[in-house]
Chain A
Amino acid sequence: MENMNTPGRQPEPDGLRPETLVPEEGVEGFEDVNDFLINIGPHHPGTHGVMRMITRLDGERVVGLDTRIGYMHRSLEKIAENRTYHQVVAFTDRTVDYLAAMHNDWVYCMAAEKLMGVEVPERAEYLRVIVGELNRISSHLLSLGALGLDSGAMTYFLWTLMAREKVVGLFEQLCGARLTYVYMRIGGVMYQPPEGWVERANEVVREVVDELPRYRRLFHDNYIWHLRSKDISTLTPEEARRINAQGPTLRAAGIKWDLRKNLPYSIYDRFEFDIPVGTTGDVYDRTEVRYDEILESARIVRQALADIPPGPVLAHRIARVPSPPPGEAYARMESPRGEIGCYLVSDGSHKPYRMKWRGASFHNVQMLPEMSIGYTLSDLINIVGTIDPVMGDVDR
């Protein structure tokens, strides 16, 4: 408790006074009994982490929403300024989006490789694509399951978690970790896959894809789910472009945009896959886009597993404490939640001079009022589920 009294550690001053919870604009006192505020969070299962949503309700409809974040801020960018380039990899998968840790390590390594001019071996590129797409499958499975849990379908959550378990088991065989992999390194990946891993990966992907029709019968084709999700939080393509929607939210609105296809990085131009799109951009379409993306990721994994060449997985002659020449580099990629990016500035020393993280969830949470005003409070919980925020990525 002593810490609370030191300067810089004071509690949020407006945290305890209800009259300050009023959303910033458009509020002139309460007109009738139907006009009131409900505070959701910071600790609430519907917020998928520690986020505080101050909703102003008219009856059951949300007419105002103020989102407060920062409860889990761990200052990744400051930490990165005090670590060497190799050490930062361990932070990028814990501190930011931990449900897609492979992608976050990958994008940091891509930026660092650009700075240092490192060529990644062919086999490492294939392994990166494979683990990246497997991670997308596991992340989407958890996201769909959690959305089911939010709307009362607990069985569905348990089923998707069972399927996710198989994918996580693959990562465990590969690098020993189940959530924070630290598998990517600057210049490639850390380990060769163990014997029989490629066959096992093929098998797991087939098992997961075989499960999907069960999910459809249980949840996606369920009449109750249709009532809860169709025409909720619709987004037109123009609106989606205006608010810079990204990832599944953007594609559900009918815009065929995927960085893997449109501005390909790594070796994604070698694989055949489609971009699933929706039509109305509502909660139902966002779920369907995620469901279809699992199938497309499975297609990419199968192709990559079939073509993977032999060879080393880590570039030679990477210094243990590299000091890249002064300059700046930016790498971006399509994570399960949208576009993530890493901007690195080097001043020629052995630590990054500045790292800026572009998190997908940070921006998705910003779009929340645009998507949810006009819908009911119970819809709001589902809308939060469809943007799939990971608070580690929001607060960094």
Chain B
Amino acid sequence: MPAIEMNELIQNGLNRAVELMALAAYNSFKFGKRNTIKMVSLSIDDLKEIAEFCYSLGDMSPLAARDGRFVMELVKEPHAVLLIGDKRKSDFNYNCGACGYRTCAELNKAEEVEALTARGPSCQFKNININIAAGAAASMAWRLGLHCRVFSTIAFAAFALNKLEGIDIATSVAVSAAKVDPFFDRHQYWTKEHWDEIFAKEFPTFTRGFFGAIEE
């Protein structure tokens, strides 16, 4: 049997890991004994498109731009992103009130509101179901020793770019087999000057000795 190169081993393992994560998400606990979630593993081309889209939102959302820059780096090493979504309307008939409508029928009849991030209003329990599924996928990734983070930003962008048909709400789980965990302490995506400027703006009193001091 010929030797299998390390890079190939890792990529094959990652492909298998995403399948197991999807399986865990599919089999996770769901309210209402209904399994209506939809899933897709995003391709590298999808992710590059998502990265550019996020970056283009920079004026509106610095966080999206940061995540756009981050995704461009993420795809340079072995990675995978699982997108999980569902429809927004309720088929539970719980009439719980969390969505702001007294009954599920009222929610389902309400006017649909389009946005780049999701279609609303959506059933709280539909949302809980996809987030439990995301948790199960993340839990599986953690057990498999992968670097992992749950991303709303990537999911919102994937929704806007229609990467998964027939969904109104979405979340995503990104995993990586990079040499260093890429998901946390992402200081490289901000310049020190920008960080200092934003911190001073958001927390103006932090460096003042006396709270009555007047800003220069």
Interaction A to B = no
B residues with a Cβ closer than 8 A to A are: none
A residues with a Cβ closer than 8 A to B are: none
